[in-house]
Structure 1
Amino acid sequence: MLKRLLLALSIALTAGAGQAEVRLKDIVNFEGVRSNQLIGYGLVVGLDGTGDSMRNSPFTRKSIEGMLSRLGVGNLSGEDLNTKNAAAVMVTAELPPYARRGSEIDVSISSLGDASSLRGGTLLVTPLSGADGEIYAVGQGPLAVGGYNVQGAAAEVTNGVPTVARIENGATVEKEVGFDLRQMDSIRLALRNPDFTTAVRIKDVINEVSGVAKAVTLDPGTVEVRLTGKADIPEMLAMIENLTVEPDSPAKVVIDAKSGTIVIGSDVRIDEVAISQGGLTVSVTESAAVSQPAPITIGETVIVPATDIEVQQKASGFAVVGGQVSLRQLVDGLNDIGIGAQEIISILQAIKAAGALHAELEII
């Protein structure tokens, strides 16, 4: 097998794996242009007996008492509430950048107590706060639940997660995040995958094409762009975000041992190394045999289990893989001889341990 691997690697064509150019907006984040997470605590009502039990969810009882008290029902702290049509929930949302007052955003609702389903419920007015404690949006509306839960006296069927729901455009923005790009004279571009080569290429393409900005590489993950003309930051960003650049990345091999998935980067190289790979196959066969007593004797007929075990050792000699094997050569050779994913993972780990794999090996 390994001789075929050597032959396939030696005759494979050497192909330089070139990377396509991509737009700047697809590989960088503009400083300050980001979303903000919101969270709130609320009540869902209108459930068909699938809400929280008052005994196991005391916070739901307190929330109902407080809500009714604010609506003028009076103090119910001493009353025996036994409703099963309400549930306490956590409401989360993402406030997009530059969301203006009055715009609508989606919200997600998750049960906090022991409710079995949120299907058919309605979220009551729920303030949504940011990390600074300020209220930025208010959510309310009927829930859309993807899963369901059906139960009877002796059986229960659950599909999906009926205690998680969503409301499209379920929250209205009440407060804007203060951020004015027009007052800035420079902005930083944050690379999603920091790399010195990519950062320098971004700086070069901006300085070559743009006549209104000057770019400077600060570190492998940051490029600062400063205005030099009459345009403002929004106009400058519109000019440079569609510029294309060829990103660079370090050589890397990512292995998911659970699923057998292997991703090999285009710049991975392997030095000359000798490989010997063999397998051990153990076959276990279970069968049943009948044991009967001898004629004219006292005994019982019984079934006796029988197990046959066969061990096959697949041996292979050493093969030398030539120096500086490229990704194309390696993949063509492994595919040609039909090596499985688990065997490839073992080979790559052994090559890395021998110091012949010039790439970062990440196992997830």
Structure 2
Amino acid sequence: MNTYFSSITKSILTVAFAMAAFQSTNAASLKLGDMCRLKGQETNSLQGLGLVVGLKGTGDSDAAPTARALSRMMQLMGGPMSVDSLGQLDVKDIGDAKNVAMVFVTAKLPAVGAQSGDLIDVTVNAINAKSLEGGYLMMTPLLGPRADNPTVYAIAQGAMRLSDDGNLTSATIQGGGKMEASVPAAFHDDGMITLVLDRDFASFDNTQRIEDEINSLSALTLGDSAGFQTQSTQDASRGRAQAIDQLHVRVQIPSIYRDNPIKFIALLLNLPIQLASHSSRVVINEREGIVVIGKDVEVAPVLVTHRNLRIEAGGVAGFVGVHDKVNEHDNAKLKNLADALNALDVPTSDLIAIIKTLKRKGDLFGEVVFE
């Protein structure tokens, strides 16, 4: 009997997600998965020190660390190496090697993690060499970002390709790293998942909207109103999601999905979220000369003079007027002022300067964002 009710509850939850998606699609909305990622699903870096051989006389010159590393590698590979009176490796024989360079090797693991045997791309950067052209990276162990963890996660080696930008001291090896240990990407912890919003969507308003959407959905499907008691009334009243700050929302995995959290996460990330309107925002990219003006940005009745031009937001005889007002008491729209300036061939740089002045003077009603 419990299995039957659990099955029905799952179906109701799935249908509710679909209904919410259908209803929200008619409004301005975005899928939750397009706004955030799960905590634990993030890129990780591996790093190591290696040796590059086969250079054309452009390697390290008189570098004692490179000579010691080369001597140690040759010793490990069974090569004959002389020792001094203290039993230490004598690096005099290879101290003037010009075709060898010590390099810093890095690799980035994808957000979904990596499994033993996977091939990953690696980046090689010279420390002292003049050029890495024609070089071959010898077998290099790659460790994690923590120096106190000696685990070798991958081994890198192979012929290098110089960077496309012409930099002779930076190169890549496509598929040059082989994972020796698995690096899983955890996505839940003790029945909880944490949503991390992308920086473009990070705000208290958006995290609160996400909390409300998830909790209203949970109340409909998992509370008493659905006819199936799956948790205590007290737990249901607390909701299943909680906004932590402007970046994070913590969500509890429902008990019916504890054994199948992937299904719940897939449904959750497809939940449409209605975003707050940014129609009262102006975004300016001065470097590229781009101005994006929301339709609801207004300006107070002002007179703008530009060289031999005079433009009044209000439309008085003798001036070029900026109209599009519902009645005489409404403010003019900034987009109409921008259209008027554009019609008079005013450069974008001057438009940006005018917007800055209006904002500084307090006559621009809206948010101005500089990128």
> TM-score normalised to the size of structure 1?
0.71
Of residues 272, 279, 283, the one that matches 1:244 is: 272
For 1:19 and 1:126, locate their aligned partners in 2 and report how far apart those are by CA, in whole Å: 54
Q: 1:265 to 1:181 in 2, by over 3 A?
A: same
| 1:83-108 CA-partner distances (Å, limit 9, x unpaired) | 32222211111122331222221111
Partner of 1:142: 159
For 1:48 and 1:266, locate their aligned partners in 2 and report how far apart those are by CA, in whole Å: 61
Deviation at 1:26, TM superposition (A): 1.5
Deviation at 1:327, TM superposition (A): 5.6
Structure ranking higher in helix proportion? 2
Which fold has the larger relative contact order, with Cα–Cα distance below 8 Å and residues 6 or more apart in sequence?
Answer: 1
Deviation at 1:43, TM superposition (A): 1.1
1:203 is paired with a residue of what secondary structure? helix
Deviation at 1:276, TM superposition (A): 1.5
- CA RMSD after TM alignment: 2.9
Of residues 301, 312, 323, the one that matches 1:319 is: 312
Partner of 2:306: 277
Q: Does 1:100 align with 2:115?
A: yes
Of residues 90, 95, 103, the one that matches 1:81 is: 95
For 2:42 and 2:96, locate their aligned partners in 1 and report how far apart those are by CA, in whole Å: 44
Deviation at 1:331, TM superposition (A): 4.1
Partner of 2:345: 338
Letter aligned with residue 354 of structure 2: I
For 1:53 and 1:104, locate their aligned partners in 2 and report how far apart those are by CA, in whole Å: 29
1:161 is paired with a residue of what secondary structure? coil
Deviation at 1:77, TM superposition (A): 1.6
Deviation at 1:182, TM superposition (A): 6.4
1:230 is paired with a residue of what secondary structure? helix
Alignment of 1:170-319 (within 5 A): 170-177=176-183, 180-181=186-187, 184-192=190-198, 193-209=201-217, 211=221, 214-232=240-258, 233-248=261-276, 251-265=280-294, 268-278=297-307, 315-317=308-310, 319=312
For 2:355 and 2:284, locate their aligned partners in 1 and report how far apart those are by CA, in whole Å: 10
Deviation at 1:265, TM superposition (A): 4.8
Structure ranking higher in strand proportion? 1
Partner of 2:144: 130
**Aligned residues of 2:299 and 2:313 also touching (Cα < 8 A):** no
Deviation at 1:31, TM superposition (A): 1.3
Q: 1:19 to 1:94 in 2, by over 3 A?
A: farther
Q: 1:186 to 1:326 in 2, by over 3 A?
A: farther
Q: 1:80 to 1:169 in 2, by over 3 A?
A: closer
Partner of 1:120: 134
Deviation at 1:318, TM superposition (A): 5.6
Deviation at 1:78, TM superposition (A): 2.6
For 2:310 and 2:333, locate their aligned partners in 1 and report how far apart those are by CA, in whole Å: 23
**Aligned residues of 2:49 and 2:140 also touching (Cα < 8 A):** yes
**Aligned residues of 2:294 and 2:335 also touching (Cα < 8 A):** no
Partner of 1:351: 358
Letter aligned with residue 127 of structure 2: L
Deviation at 1:27, TM superposition (A): 0.9
Deviation at 1:201, TM superposition (A): 2.9
| 1:15-65 CA-partner distances (Å, limit 9, x unpaired) | xxx99532211111211111112221111112233x32423x443233222
Deviation at 1:162, TM superposition (A): 2.5
Of residues 55, 61, 76, the one that matches 1:47 is: 55
For 1:239 and 1:129, locate their aligned partners in 2 and report how far apart those are by CA, in whole Å: 36
For 2:284 and 2:242, locate their aligned partners in 1 and report how far apart those are by CA, in whole Å: 36
> TM-score normalised to the size of structure 2?
0.70
Partner of 2:29: 21
**Aligned residues of 1:99 and 1:176 also touching (Cα < 8 A):** yes
Deviation at 1:82, TM superposition (A): 2.7
For 1:66 and 1:328, locate their aligned partners in 2 and report how far apart those are by CA, in whole Å: 69
For 1:19 and 1:334, locate their aligned partners in 2 and report how far apart those are by CA, in whole Å: 33
For 1:37 and 1:337, locate their aligned partners in 2 and report how far apart those are by CA, in whole Å: 53
Gaps of 5+ in 2: 1-25, 82-88, 223-238, 315-321, 323-329
Q: 1:54 to 1:324 in 2, by over 3 A?
A: same
| 1:314-351 CA-partner distances (Å, limit 9, x unpaired) | x3346235754446434433332221111112101111
**Aligned residues of 1:199 and 1:221 also touching (Cα < 8 A):** yes
1:276 is paired with a residue of what secondary structure? strand
Partner of 1:72: 78
Alignment of 1:162-177 (within 5 A): 162-177=168-183
Q: 1:235 to 1:28 in 2, by over 3 A?
A: same
For 2:289 and 2:211, locate their aligned partners in 1 and report how far apart those are by CA, in whole Å: 39
**Aligned residues of 1:181 and 1:234 also touching (Cα < 8 A):** no
Q: Does 1:329 align with 2:342?
A: no
1:219 is paired with a residue of what secondary structure? coil
For 2:189 and 2:45, locate their aligned partners in 1 and report how far apart those are by CA, in whole Å: 25
Runs of 4+ in 1 over 6 A off after TM superposition: none
Q: Which moved more, 1:345-354 or 1:255-264?
A: 255-264
Q: Which moved more, 1:68-77 or 1:200-209?
A: 200-209
